[in-house]
Amino acid sequence: MSKRLSHKPAHSNLASRVQELIDRYHAGSVNAAAAAIGVPQRSLARIAAGDVTSPRVGILEAVARYFGTTLDWLTTGSGDAPSPRSPTGAEADATWLQWQRLVVDLALPDAVREALWHLPLSTSWAWRDLCQGQSLDGTGLSLLKDAGDAEITAWLTLFRGLIRLYGTHRVRKALIAHPDSIRLGFNRLAMDLRDQGKIRGDLETPFQSANHGAWSRESPRRGDRLG
C-alpha cells in the first residue's frame, strides 16, 4: 500500500509551492512538468490545484528530487529550497524551455499539444535504436545533447517562422487538423503508409502508450549498449 502524507494544514502551501515550480520552470504547463518529472499528469495536477489532501509520498519525492529540493520544503516550506537555477537534466536546457513555451503559447487541445510536445525526439530514438551495445559515457551524452539541441532549434526555427508568416491562429488551426502527421513526425513515408491504410488512422492511443512515462526529452539509461 502506498504511503501518503496527511498533514492537511500544510496542504494549501504544498499546492502553491508545487504550482510555483511548475510556473517557473515549465511555463505553467502541468503536462510538461509531469512528463519531465516522470509522474502521472493527473496526480501532479491535483496536487498543484490543492485537490488532494493526502498525496503519495513517492510522487512528492520525485518532484523534490527533480527540482533539487527536499520533501520537507515541499510540504512545510522549511529546509532546503530549490536551487535558483533550472532543474538538472536535458529537460531544463534553454532550447527545450523555449520549445515548451512555444507549445504552451499555441494553446492547443490536450491531445495535439502532447503530440507536438514530443516532436523533437527523433535523435533520442535514433540513438536508442542504433547505439545498442555501446556504453553511454560522457562523450556519448554530449553527442546526444548536441544532436537534441540542434533538432529542437530546427523545430523552433520552423514554427517561429510559420507563426511570423501566417499568424498563430492559422498555425494552430493547421496543427489541430493534422494531429496524426505530428505523431508520425511529418515523416513522408510514414504518412504515405497511413494514407494507404497500412498504418492505422487515429494514432492517439498507441502514441500515448509509446510515450507513457517518457521524459519530454528521452535520454538513454547508463549501461544501454550497441550491438
Of 53, 76, 99, the residue that ends a domain is 76
Domain membership flag for residue 55: yes
Q: Kindly report the number of other CB atoms within 10 A of residue 57's CB atom.
A: 14
Task: Give yes or no: residues 137 and 172 share one domain.
Answer: yes
Largest CA distance in the chain: 59
Note if the pTM is more than 0.85: no
| For range 198-204, the mean pLDDT | 75
| For range 109-131, the mean pLDDT | 81
User: How far, in Å, CA of 43 to CA of 30, rounded?
Assistant: 10
Name the domain count of the chain: 2
Task: Give yes or no: residues 111 and 56 share one domain.
Answer: no
Task: Give yes or no: residues 56 and 119 share one domain.
Answer: no
Domain membership flag for residue 216: no
Residue 56, strand partner residues: 4
Instruction: Tell whether the model's pLDDT for residue 220 goes beyond 50.
Output: no
User: How far, in Å, CA of 122 to CA of 119, rounded?
Assistant: 8
Domain membership flag for residue 125: yes
Looking at residue 159, its pLDDT comes to 96
Parent domain of 157:
90-210
Domain membership flag for residue 183: yes
Domain membership flag for residue 226: no
Task: Give yes or no: residues 51 and 104 share one domain.
Answer: no
Domain membership flag for residue 219: no
Task: Give yes or no: residues 99 and 62 share one domain.
Answer: no
Cell reading at 175: 496543427
Domain membership flag for residue 203: yes
Task: Give yes or no: residues 72 and 44 share one domain.
Answer: yes
User: How far, in Å, CA of 165 to CA of 188, rounded?
Assistant: 23
Q: What is the pLDDT of residues 39-73, one digit of tens each?
A: 888 889 999 998 887 888 888 888 887 777 888 88
